[in-house]
Amino acid sequence: MADLWFHQATSSCSDWPLGRVLEAKQASALTVSVVIPARDEAATVGAIVERIVAELAAPGVVDEVVVMDSDSRDGTGRIAAKAGARVHRTMAVAPEAGWFPGKGEALWKSLFVTRGDVLVFVDADLTVWSSRFVVGLLGPLLTRPETLLVKAFYRRLSAPGGGDRGGRVTELMARPMLNLLWPELATVVQPLAGEWAVRRSLLETLPIPVGYGVELACLVDTYQRHGLAALAQVDLGARGHRQRPVEELGVMAAELLAVVHRRRAWSRTGALTPLLRQFDSDSGWTTRTVPTMERSPARSEPAYHRGEASNAC
């Protein structure tokens, strides 16, 4: 079943030229929001926004470009707004719901301030990429009603002229867990890819981890609720982005374990411990907080139904 799905649901961005996707969008009458979660990404966010606005919003493939600014201190919001995005401070959206730092929190709150039937998520730290990332992710959603969520995969550029299939957390944590616990999902090439697209009608019903566990949680929850047929993946070519230190990757791995802990029967055997002890030969032991909070489905929030917006930058 999984191998059959891989061949039927896997495509390349070359299968989705701009004209074909634009025609499919017009025929479907669906609207598209591109959401870029960002925290202190002033060096890269402006070029990303400018390119999406010029190459995709102008011809009508994308209806809005929204940057969710997670308490940046380097001018990320100002730069994104100047480049053409509508910018929202994550902590100012639905203030009665409170605020947590983290990528998942930004994606969850983007549901409150966007209007697209389809949301495409793009990371803000990309250095090697193309607007075809967005076009390719839209293809399956705009042409196949049964597709609910589309994941990207690509050749990750870890050094000039080099590359690998997946990141360190993907290959050392996410892929082994999927192979052991949800074997059919092992055919998803990059389950933690930050570029993905989803129907609003699905995302608003899912619980959302506030941190880096969001991609794995949404993938697993979609699979468990709707089956493998609801998923697709697109090869987007090459991708380059900022590399994170191994200490941060340790916290990300712990967040993934928390996601799995909640989604398996043994999740009832004990409470989650939101602290990770790490050892460094120079500085000794340190303790890092692991975000384990999950937001309830947006559809259950009163502010979501009011269409409440926040203060935009």
Quick one: pLDDT at residue 158?
Answer: 58
Contacts of 138 (CB under 8 A, 6+ apart): 16, 21, 24, 25, 32, 61, 118, 120, 150, 197
Number of separate domains in the chain: 1
pTM of the full structure: 0.89
Let me know if residue 311 belongs to a domain: no
One-character DSSP codes across 73-102: SSSHHHHHHHHT-EEEEGGGSSGGG----S
Let me know if residue 312 belongs to a domain: no
Q: Which of 151, 155, 93 is nearest to 298 (CA)?
A: 93
Quick one: pLDDT at residue 162?
Answer: 45
- Residue 96 lies in domain: 2-306
Let me know if residue 7 belongs to a domain: yes
Q: Where are the alpha helices (DSSP H) in the chain?
A: 2-9, 18-28, 45-52, 76-83, 103-113, 132-143, 168-169, 175-181, 200-203, 214-226, 246-263, 302-306
Q: Is the dihedral of CA 67, 95, 103, 179 positive or negative?
A: negative
Q: For residue 113, how many C-alpha atoms fall within 13 Å in the half-sphere facing its CB? A: 30
pLDDT block averages, 10 residues each, the chain of length 313: 86 96 97 97 96 96 97 95 97 94 96 98 91 96 97 74 61 88 92 96 97 96 97 89 66 88 66 64 73 90 74 56
Quick one: pLDDT at residue 41?
Answer: 95
Let me know if residue 313 belongs to a domain: no
Task: List the CATH number of the domain containing 144.
Answer: 3.90.550.10
Let me know if residue 220 belongs to a domain: yes
Quick one: pLDDT at residue 42?
Answer: 95
Q: Provide the Cα torsion 207, 209, 212, 217; round to 10°.
A: -40
